[in-house]
Amino acid sequence: SQTIHQWPATLVQPVGSPLSLECTVEGTSNPNLYWYRQAAGRGLQLLFYSVGIGQISSEVPQNLSASRPQDRQFILSSKKLLLSDSGFYLCAWKGTGAYQPQHFGDGTRLSIL
């Protein structure tokens, strides 16, 4: 069966520091991969998605970037965090079929001080 791993679960970072969040998927090949952010009490905001190695689509202009160095690895990064980057970051995967749902990792709760 497929599993998705996301870490760390919680992160506290100072403003201006770099960020690297990693997500890996097991049990499937060539998945679509996604990064979402959810602010407290708000809905999901899609940040990036990828349909293959090295292919990244950015949904919202910001100081974050994403990379997919391997088929089942998706990384979210920032060079300098802002206070507004605080939130709940969720990685998700989906099979390549048209009408399939997405499946989420446990999420990373990021607090910027």
Strand-pair partners of 21: 76
b/e map 53-77, b = 16+ CB within 10 Å: eeebeeeeeeebebbbeebbebbbe
Report 8-67 residues binding another protein (CB under 8 A).
32, 42-44, 46, 49, 51, 57
Q: State which of residues 81, 90, 110, 112 lies at the interface with another protein (CB under 8 A).
A: 90
Strand-pair partners of 87: 110
49 vs 74, beta carbon nearer another protein:
49
Count of other CB atoms within 10 angstroms of residue 33 = 27
Q: How far is the CB of 108 from another protein (least distance, A)?
A: 10
Binding site for another protein (CB under 8 A): 32, 42-44, 46, 49, 51, 57, 88, 90, 94, 98-99, 101-107, 109
